[in-house]
Amino acid sequence: DQQVKQNSPSLSVQEGRISILNCDYTNSMFDYFLWYKKYPAEGPTFLISISSIKDKNEDGRFTVFLNKSAKHLSLHIVPSQPGDSAVYFCAASATGTASKLTFGTGTRLQVTL
């Protein structure tokens, strides 16, 4: 039972353009959402998070949007840079089990020159 889904296994974007990574969830108890970036042979690196009381959170080039009614969140990277090429995971947690993250399967982003 995949409670957090990233339906696009890969995405290719030109340098300077916007990258949009999508994530859907099914568990209504999830109220905190995070995005992580992962390079091969390294642990995931935290990027940005959003609480369910918000619908948008921005940090530099990264913006996360949350649509609770659709149980959907997205990560926007503007402008995309070659160094952004990595696998991106969305993750979710519920109140009371904040340290129990449920991860999506990841989207591999390739930023081309």
Chain contacts with other proteins (rule: CB under 8 A): 32, 34, 36, 41-46, 49, 51, 89, 91, 93, 97-106
Residue with Cβ nearer other proteins (10 or 112): 10
The least CB distance from residue 104 to other proteins, in Å, is 8
CA-CA-CA-CA torsion for 44, 50, 51, 55, nearest 10 degrees? -150
Residue with Cβ nearer other proteins (60 or 113): 60
Residue with Cβ nearer other proteins (1 or 113): 1
The least CB distance from residue 89 to other proteins, in Å, is 7
Cα separation, 76 vs 110, whole angstroms: 14
Do you find a cis peptide bond into 79, omega within 30 degrees of 0?
A: yes
The least CB distance from residue 19 to other proteins, in Å, is 21
